[in-house]
């Protein structure tokens, strides 16, 4: 399997994450990618290649113009406002506040576009996010060109980013951008299976009213887990998209048996949908040792579910999302990919 990867991920290097009332070193850190790359080399998974630059066209097909302008300028606006730390929102347009657009001041605009406060913005964030989208598009093009599979080693991740919202370590929705790329290249039906521990709220929001992209997500129940406000089993799609969103919220402590049962149900629905291609939002924060998650998958389980995902026989794009047990992230990710290859 070919991997697409950009060194520009290193530009996403914030020093802070607001966690438990403290500013801590971010869980979503550059070392994650280094561990995955060394495991790819060690196992001989396949070549690692740089992305093709596509400009903002593919991102514009998913994200709102004002949101992209915000991302492009937020850091300089934050600095120009005289702030010395990293950009973190402190105020939101919450219930019972009426505004219907981003206010002029950057402090207000941050809250307008942020879905959560843990994700600090710093100088290279926008450049890294654009490179991650290029990685996803380049890997999607490999699959469109006839490859059985490809791995988009995206960083920063994307599945929490909606049309006009960032947070949960995500800015551009790499998997959604890839899905739209596939649709525009002629794939009539794309299935997007999100196996990250956290619900893919951004991806769901982007595709909830569409019948051409089936979104399925296995995740920690939002009653307990981030992103807290989306991901219930009763969310099944909107309008023409009714029936094309499928959520599997699972309780804290879920182990592989129950998780794999949900996966089998999801894969059955992918087959019934008649998908032309499959995109996997691949987060390995379902691992037992993950520091911010509560499922109990073992490293071997990742290889097992990689095999299961291969069974429908679909052209498959893996897009990297979360996973914060840094020492084990390489083994767990590559186990999925080698499991898939059989």
The listed partner (ligand Q9C, Zn ion, none) that binds 70, CB under 5 to 8 Å by sort, is: none
CB of 304 to Zn ion, least distance (A): 20
Inter-CA distances, 12 with 123, 129, 244, 270, Å: 8, 8, 33, 34
Q: Is 196 in the site for ligand Q9C (CB under 6 A)?
A: yes
Q: Is 285 in the site for Zn ion (CB under 5 A)?
A: yes
Q: Is 200 in the site for Zn ion (CB under 5 A)?
A: no
| Nearer of residues 136 and 187 to ligand Q9C, judged by Cβ | 136
Question: Do 161 and 62 touch, CB atoms closer than 8 A?
Answer: no
**Contact set for ligand Q9C, span 134-173 (CB under 6 A):** 157, 160, 168-170
| Nearer of residues 16 and 73 to ligand Q9C, judged by Cβ | 16
Question: Do 133 and 174 touch, CB atoms closer than 8 A?
Answer: yes
**191, containing H or E segment:** strand 190-194
Question: Do 239 and 194 touch, CB atoms closer than 8 A?
Answer: no
| Nearer of residues 25 and 83 to ligand Q9C, judged by Cβ | 25
Residue 243 CB-half CA count within 13 A: 6
Binding residue (CB under 5 A) for Zn ion from 158, 283, 315, 339: 283
Q: Please give the size of the binding site for ligand Q9C, defined by CB under 6 A.
A: 16
Q: Is 17 in the site for Zn ion (CB under 5 A)?
A: no
Q: Which residues are catalytic?
A: 160
- Report DSSP state, residue 164: T
What residue is closest to ligand Q9C based on CB? 322
Among 207, 125, 138, residue whose Cα is nearest residue 169: 125
Residues ≥6 apart with Cβ < 8 Å to 302: 284, 287, 331, 332, 333, 335, 336, 339
Binding residue (CB under 6 A) for ligand Q9C from 86, 235, 285, 301: 285
Question: Do 199 and 227 touch, CB atoms closer than 8 A?
Answer: yes
Q: Is 196 in the site for Zn ion (CB under 5 A)?
A: yes
Site string for ligand Q9C, 315-334 (x = CB under 6 A): ------xx------------
List residues near Zn ion by CB under 5 A. 196-198, 283, 285, 322
């Amino acid at each position: 399997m070919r991997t697409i990867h950009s060194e520009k991920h290193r530009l996403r290097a914030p020093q802070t994450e607001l966690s438990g009332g403290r500013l801590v070193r971010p869980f979503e850190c550059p070392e994650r990618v280094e561990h995955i790359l060394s495991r790819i080399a060690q196992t001989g998974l396949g070549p690692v290649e740089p992305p093709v630059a596509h400009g903002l066209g593919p991102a514009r097909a998913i994200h709102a113009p004002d949101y992209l302008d915000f991302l492009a300028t937020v850091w300089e606006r934050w600095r120009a406002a005289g702030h010395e730390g990293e950009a973190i929102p402190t105020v939101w347009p919450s219930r019972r506040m009426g505004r219907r657009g981003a206010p002029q001041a950057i402090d207000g605009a941050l809250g307008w576009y942020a879905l959560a406060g843990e994700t600090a913005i710093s100088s290279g964030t926008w450049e890294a996010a654009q490179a991650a989208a290029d990685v996803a598009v380049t890997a999607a093009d490999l699959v469109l060109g006839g490859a059985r599979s490809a791995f988009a080693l995206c960083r920063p991740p994307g599945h929490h980013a909606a049309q006009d919202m960032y947070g949960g370590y995500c800015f551009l929705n790499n998997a959604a951008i890839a899905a739209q790329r596939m649709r525009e290249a002629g794939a009539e039906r794309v299935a997007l299976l999100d196996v990250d521990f956290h619900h893919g709220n951004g991806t769901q929001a982007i595709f909830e009213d569409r019948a051409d992209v089936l979104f399925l997500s296995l995740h920690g129940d939002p009653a307990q887990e981030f992103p807290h406000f989306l991901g219930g089993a009763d969310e099944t799609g909107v309008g023409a998209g009714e029936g094309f969103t499928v959520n599997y919220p699972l309780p804290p402590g879920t182990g592989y048996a129950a998780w794999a049962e949900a996966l089998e149900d999801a894969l059955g629905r992918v087959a019934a949908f008649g998908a032309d291609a499959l995109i996997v939002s691949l987060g390995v924060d379902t691992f037992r040792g993950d520091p911010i998650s509560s499922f109990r998958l073992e490293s071997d389980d990742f290889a097992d579910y990689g095999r299961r995902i291969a069974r429908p026989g679909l052209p498959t794009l893996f897009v990297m999302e979360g996973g914060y047990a840094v020492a084990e992230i390489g083994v767990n990710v590559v186990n999925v990919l080698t499991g898939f290859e059989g």
